[in-house]
């Protein structure tokens, strides 16, 4: 699928041109002729004979960026000095830092913040461990934990390569919910080691955000940690995705005037995200769902069902459909894809019911071209930022954890997830709701606060004894 220039592939080219020639006027033309977009052009040094200029532009990918550089270099009189990838520059030295919340200007302040004064606080917590939430960062801290086995759409690239993603997650926690989050990348993919390591790290945190751990291990890791810990454990790839999908589908169905309990839903993807989306949809009232994996529809007659697929077979596909995804999509009101790129065509969407809803969420390339899908479907959503209706987990997890921490919750319930989805959907007002606006912008000021309030109210301030999602 053809893509458009994106800031994700933004470069700055430092070059030199003759001061009196036509090269300056040709720079923008060369970039645009190569298919790029100029976002800034700055003269950094001027002289009688030479000008040094920084040209910043967006490309489609790394090869396209190189093509733009070649086009600039081909201009007569242009000398390329340096090419900087702006995304890599942003990541130099990491994206987050820690800083003290209290002044340390003199010996008195040092004595209170550290020894000997800190000993009094430590002893108070030793006498009453619950005071850790009041007197330490525990009350506002989350561990973002991964084993690097399922990073974005990149696969099993390991813990070190996962660190930039976990840093980004921590930055989002702070930006959207004021939560201090810490990236923790574990060099093991053994379930027992993961569970035990996270368990012994847990006392310093108010919540655990599991991230980019592949299925089916992620299910067991989450289940066991929830049994062991007295703080919330939330696998964002599962539950964050589910919350945003349900919120978006709630509003999409309002647009097309259909009811969740009546529509036929075809899903592609039975992994961690797909299973969580399915569970929340069923809890919200969906009744007619067929889930497909790479072997076709999941049904009770298949002989390859593991525990997770068996659950899906037992709770969906009541008619026992045993065909492929294209057959499941035919006549369906809703398609939800959390699977692989390019598995459907515009013709498949055309075969859906009238006023169809298509959520093609594979990233960076969706299950079906959004442009083709929009020719036939009434509402289309993707996981991409360059199309309307982006299904983005940042709409959910900051507010969810803000609510959990504020309530001092000891776990996560299905009721909390449903409450979060309902609150997120309600941020879009009836006047704003339309085919191209079914979820708010991630920068909408009410998103995190609305979700947090809903989760906090659902939690009821209870810290123990909650049934789990």
Q: Which residues are catalytic?
A: 114, 169
Q: Closest by alpha carbon to 183, among 166, 200, 171, 204?
A: 166
Q: Rounded to the nearest 5 degrees, what angle is found at the Cα of 139, between the Cα atoms of 112 and 223?
A: 140
Number of Cβ within a 10 Å radius of residue 206: 25
Q: Closest by alpha carbon to 117, among 130, 131, 104, 127?
A: 104
Rounded CA gap, 217 and 301, in Å? Answer: 25
Q: Closest by alpha carbon to 224, among 187, 270, 184, 193?
A: 193
Sheet of 141-146: strand order equals: 180-185, 141-146, 207-210, 233-235
Output the six-digit token pair for 193: 């080691």
State residue 297 phi and psi, 5-degree precision: -65, 140
Rounded CA gap, 95 and 92, in Å? Answer: 8
Q: Closest by alpha carbon to 266, among 302, 298, 303?
A: 298
Quick check: 225 and 192 in contact, CB under 8 A? no
Rounded CA gap, 67 and 239, in Å? Answer: 41
Output the six-digit token pair for 357: 């809803």
Output the six-digit token pair for 259: 């009811």
Distance of CA 445 to the CA centre of its chain: 18
Q: Closest by alpha carbon to 140, among 96, 106, 177?
A: 177
Output the six-digit token pair for 405: 């921490």
Output the six-digit token pair for 226: 């929830």
Facing residues of 335 across strands? 266, 358
Within 13 Å and on the Cβ side, how many CA atoms surround 314? 8
CA distances (Å), origin 340, targets 305, 344, 360, 438: 20, 10, 9, 23
Quick check: 197 and 175 in contact, CB under 8 A? no
Quick check: 375 and 401 in contact, CB under 8 A? no
Distance of CA 35 to the CA centre of its chain: 29
Q: Rounded to the nearest 5 degrees, what angle is found at the Cα of 76, between the Cα atoms of 70 and 79?
A: 60
């Amino acid at each position: 699928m053809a893509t458009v220039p994106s800031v994700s592939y933004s470069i700055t080219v430092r070059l030199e041109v003759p001061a009196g020639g036509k090269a300056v006027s040709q720079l923008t033309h060369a970039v645009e002729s190569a298919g790029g977009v100029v976002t800034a052009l700055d003269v950094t040094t001027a002289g009688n004979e030479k000008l040094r200029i920084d040209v910043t532009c967006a490309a489609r990918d790394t090869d396209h960026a190189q093509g733009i550089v070649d086009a600039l270099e081909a201009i007569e009189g242009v000398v390329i000095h340096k090419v900087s990838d702006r995304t890599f520059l942003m990541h130099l030295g990491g994206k987050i830092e820690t800083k003290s919340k209290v002044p340390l200007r003199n010996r008195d302040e040092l004595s209170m913040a550290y020894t000997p004064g800190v000993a009094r606080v430590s002893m108070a917590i030793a006498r009453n461990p619950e005071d850790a939430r009041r007197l330490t960062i525990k009350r506002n801290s989350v561990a973002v934990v991964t084993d690097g086995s399922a990073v974005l759409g990149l696969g099993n690239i390991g813990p070190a390569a996962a660190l930039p993603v976990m840093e980004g997650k921590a930055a989002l926690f702070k930006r959207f919910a004021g939560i201090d989050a810490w990236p923790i990348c574990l060099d093991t993919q053994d379930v027992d080691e993961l569970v035990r390591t996270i368990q012994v790290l847990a006392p310093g945190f108010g919540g655990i955000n599991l991230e980019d751990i592949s299925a089916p291990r992620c299910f067991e890791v989450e289940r066991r940690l929830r049994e062991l810990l007295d703080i919330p454990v939330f696998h964002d790839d599962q539950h964050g995705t589910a919350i945003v999908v349900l919120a978006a589908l709630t509003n999409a169905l309002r647009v097309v005037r259909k009811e969740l309990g009546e529509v036929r839903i075809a899903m592609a993807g039975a992994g961690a995200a797909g299973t969580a989306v399915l569970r929340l949809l069923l809890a919200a009232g969906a009744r007619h769902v067929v889930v497909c994996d790479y072997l076709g529809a999941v049904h009770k007659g298949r002989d390859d069902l593991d525990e997770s697929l068996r659950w899906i077979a037992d709770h969906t596909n009541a008619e026992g459909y045993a065909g492929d995804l294209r057959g499941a999509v035919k006549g369906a009101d809703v398609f939800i894809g959390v699977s692989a790129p390019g598995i459907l065509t515009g013709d498949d969407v055309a075969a859906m019911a009238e006023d169809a809803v298509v959520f093609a969420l594979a990233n960076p390339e969706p299950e079906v071209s959004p442009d083709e899908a929009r020719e036939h479907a009434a509402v289309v959503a993707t996981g991409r930022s360059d199309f309307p209706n982006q299904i983005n987990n940042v709409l959910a997890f900051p507010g969810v954890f803000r609510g959990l921490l504020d309530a001092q919750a000891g776990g996560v319930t299905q009721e909390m997830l449903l409450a979060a989805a309902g609150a997120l959907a309600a941020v879009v007002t009836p006047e704003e709701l339309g085919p191209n606006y079914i979820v708010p912008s991630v920068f909408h000021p009410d998103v995190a606060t609305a979700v947090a309030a809903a989760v906090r109210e659902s939690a009821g301030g209870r810290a123990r004894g909650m049934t789990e999602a």
